């Protein structure tokens, strides 16, 4: 089987969850014997491919054009939706009104892409239910949960502790951006005498500056390779991700596998992944974030969630589900 992956052109320079999902799915599908190429050209020649697998409907412009091109060349389309409604985020973060207007204007493009795909591959049932409610689609679907590399289960804290002399802290891994809501996390920790370590690239310089000047024990480190990041997870007591939504938050899956207690947003498909083994918070409510942090910090770390993630949410399992979806539409 030969499959073409298509995604936004900046997926390597502007690394986000869709980038990580694509690259890990490619790696594990290839281990299953699938031939996978990546092409970001909206006019790509598709003759040699059995399936065109397109990623991301939240950022829809390129996805819509990928779908048009695949339809014109009569190719089967698998669509990893990676979708959540951005309206609440725009309405509650003081975003310019134009952003919400642009989001709403793109509705017909999303609906068209979802209707015309042969199969949708959402990351959770909550995501699929939201798509059905908002777009009224009847497209077949296969839930393909996101994953984490099993290597995170073997993470060792010593490298990070030796390099930075900090241990049992609160960690937040992710791009510094309003959607990830680090500023609210910092405000929630003002009365908690524990360091907060932020790791990730900066997608909004002004927002990052606000974050770094808003707390006393806030330490920022840029994006780091997986081995160092795994050590950071192992050294932390809690990983916190009070985002405006997550589907479900790849960093939280990695942190859970490494043994962290998890504080995470109640928006998105998070509950399907972490069940009763995480502390959920309302991203609009600093007191809710603080309460979840205090509960997680006061609870000893255990292997229960780590074992759950390792058993159910690895990239190997995601690739197997993806291959099942391909086989369904090629019958």
> In CATH, what number is assigned to the domain containing residue 235?
3.40.50.2000
pLDDT at 247 over 90: no
Q: What per-residue confidence (pLDDT) applies to 55?
A: 98
Dist CA 161 CA 170 (whole Å):
14
Q: In the structure, what pLDDT confidence band is assigned to residue 95 with cuts at 50, 70 and 90?
A: confident
pLDDT at 122 over 90: yes
Specify whether the CB–CB gap between 297 and 170 falls below 8 A.
yes
Q: 295-315 pLDDT, tens per residue?
A: 999 999 999 999 999 999 999
- Dig out the tokens for 129 from the structure: 């239910």
Mark whether 175 and 255 lie in a shared domain: yes
Q: What is the mean pLDDT of residues 149-176?
A: 95
Structural domain including 52 reads: 2-147+314-330
The alpha-carbon radius of gyration of the chain (Å, integer) is: 20
Mark whether 214 and 127 lie in a shared domain: no
Mark whether 76 and 59 lie in a shared domain: yes
pLDDT at 248 over 90: no
Q: 20-33 pLDDT, tens per residue?
A: 999 999 999 999 99
Mark whether 26 and 100 lie in a shared domain: yes
Mark whether 307 and 180 lie in a shared domain: yes
Question: 142-156, 200-214, 293-307, 308-322: lowest mean pLDDT where?
Answer: 200-214
Bigger pLDDT: 15 vs 49: 49
Q: 185-196 pLDDT, tens per residue?
A: 999 999 999 999
Question: 206-210, 256-260, 285-289, 317-321: lowest mean pLDDT where?
Answer: 206-210
Mark whether 158 and 143 lie in a shared domain: no
Mark whether 219 and 199 lie in a shared domain: yes
pLDDT at 159 over 90: yes
Mark whether 139 and 260 lie in a shared domain: no
pLDDT at 176 over 90: yes
Mark whether 119 and 14 lie in a shared domain: yes
Q: What per-residue confidence (pLDDT) applies to 204?
A: 86
Q: 219-245 pLDDT, tens per residue?
A: 999 989 999 999 999 999 999 999 999
Bigger pLDDT: 219 vs 215: 219
CB atoms closer than 10 angstroms to residue 50 = 16
Q: What is the mean pLDDT of residues 95-101?
A: 92
Mark whether 128 and 19 lie in a shared domain: yes
Mark whether 99 and 172 lie in a shared domain: no
Mark whether 25 and 44 lie in a shared domain: yes
Mean model confidence pLDDT for the chain: 95
Q: What per-residue confidence (pLDDT) applies to 223?
A: 86
Question: Domain count of the chain?
Answer: 2
Q: What is the mean pLDDT of residues 86-98?
A: 87
């Amino acid at each position: 089987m030969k499959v073409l992956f298509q995604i936004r052109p900046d997926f390597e320079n502007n690394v986000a969850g869709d980038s990580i999902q694509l690259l890990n799915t490619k790696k594990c599908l290839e281990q299953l014997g699938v031939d996978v190429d990546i092409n970001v050209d909206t006019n790509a020649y598709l003759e040699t491919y059995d399936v065109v697998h397109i990623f991301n409907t939240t950022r829809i412009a390129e996805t819509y054009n990928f779908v048009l091109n695949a339809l014109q060349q009569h190719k089967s389309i698998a669509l990893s939706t990676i979708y959540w409604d951005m309206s609440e985020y725009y309405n509650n973060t003081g975003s310019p009104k134009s952003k919400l207007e642009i989001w709403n204007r793109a509705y017909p493009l999303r609906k068209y892409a979802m209707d015309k795909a042969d199969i949708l591959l959402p990351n959770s049932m909550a995501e699929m239910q939201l798509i059905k409610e908002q777009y009224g689609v009847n497209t077949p679907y296969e839930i393909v949960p996101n994953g984490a590399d099993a290597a995170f289960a073997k993470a060792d804290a010593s490298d990070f502790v030796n390099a930075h002399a900090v241990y049992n802290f609160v960690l937040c891994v992710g791009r510094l951006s309003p959607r990830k809501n680090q500023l609210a996390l910092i405000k929630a920790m003002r009365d908690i005498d524990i360091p907060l370590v932020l790791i990730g690239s900066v997608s909004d310089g002004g927002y990052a500056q606000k974050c770094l000047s808003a707390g006393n024990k806030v330490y920022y480190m840029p994006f780091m390779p997986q081995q160092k990041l795994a050590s950071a997870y192992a050294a932390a007591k809690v990983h916190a991700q009070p985002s405006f939504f997550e589907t479900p938050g790849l960093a939280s899956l990695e942190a859970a596998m490494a043994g962290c207690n998890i504080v995470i947003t109640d928006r998105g498909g998070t509950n399907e992944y972490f069940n009763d083994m995480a502390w959920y918070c309302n991203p609009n409510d600093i007191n809710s974030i603080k309460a979840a942090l205090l509960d997680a910090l006061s609870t000893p770390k255990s292997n229960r969630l780590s074992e759950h993630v390792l058993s159910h949410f690895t990239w190997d399992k995601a690739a197997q589900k993806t291959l099942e979806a391909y086989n369904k539409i090629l019958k």
